Each structure stands twice: as C-alpha cells, then as structure tokens.
Amino acid sequence: MHQEKIQQVIQEVKKIVVGQDRMVNRLLIGLFTNGHILLEGVPGLAKTLTVNTLAKVLHLDFKRIQFTPDLLPSDLVGTMIYNQQEANFEVKKGPIFANIILADEVNRSPAKVQSALLEAMQE
C-alpha cells in the first residue's frame, strides 16, 4: 500500500477508535509484515473494537474466539459434517480460517486447543 492509502486506513479507524493511534500503527505494522500481534491491557482499552474496526476498514474477515476450559480443537479448526441429503461429508471451517482472529483468554483453554492454535499460527 502507498503512504496515502495507509493514512486513509488510519483516518477511517480513528473515526471509530479515539486515542489509540499507537496501537493502530502497530497493528498495521503487524499486518504488513505478516506477523502475529499480542495485545495486552486492562479491560476497556478498545482492543476488540480496534481490531474489529481495522478488519472492517480493510474488508477482511474478523472472528473473535473466547477461549474457555471446555473448548475443543475442532471448535477452532472446524470439522466434517455429514449431509444426509447429498450423502457426503462437507467441511465446516472453524473461526481460525478468518483473516484476522482475536484470541481472548488463551491461557484458560486446554493444552490441545492451545497446540491447535499455535499450529495454525505457524502456517
């Protein structure tokens, strides 16, 4: 993207999210470098809103995953579902296939789920 396009994206995000310029800039750096971004902070800093707004501005698919102790790896990556009408299995992709994922409270999930997340992040 050219500098003016980047500024346009920043301005669009600023219309919704106020006072988080540094976070927006760092999110864009992470996106442009194909990296992963760790957002940490107390509740109420607009982390979810910022990521969601950035995804909308860039026309990307956004999913938020709330990690809980009862989450299964198939809840992340999806599963095969049998279609009785067509007598075959269909792939139902999980939220991990979105362009941008907000993984919340990863530490609360079982080790197998964390492993599935890390494996997806490597690819």
CATH of the domain at 68: 3.40.50.300
From 60, 91, 111, give the residue that closes a domain.
60
Q: Is the pLDDT of residue 33 over 60?
A: yes
| Structural domains of the chain, count | 2
Across 20-28, average pLDDT:
93
First-to-final CA distance of the chain: 24
- Domain housing 110: 62-123
Q: Averaged over 54-67, what is the pLDDT?
A: 95
44 in the same domain as 67: no
Residue 31 CB-half CA count within 13 A: 17
Residues 52 and 66 in one domain: no
pLDDT of residue 73: 95
53 plus 14 within the same structural domain:
yes
Q: What is the model's pTM?
A: 0.81
56 shares its domain with 66 = no
- Could you give the percent of the chain with pLDDT greater than 90? 82
Regarding whether 74 and 53 lie in a shared domain, the answer is: no
**Residue where a domain stops, chosen among 41, 60, 79:** 60
3-state secondary structure of 87: coil
Q: What is the average pLDDT across 29-48?
A: 90
Say if residue 38 is in the same domain as residue 86. Answer: no
> Side chain identity at 98, as an amino acid letter?
A
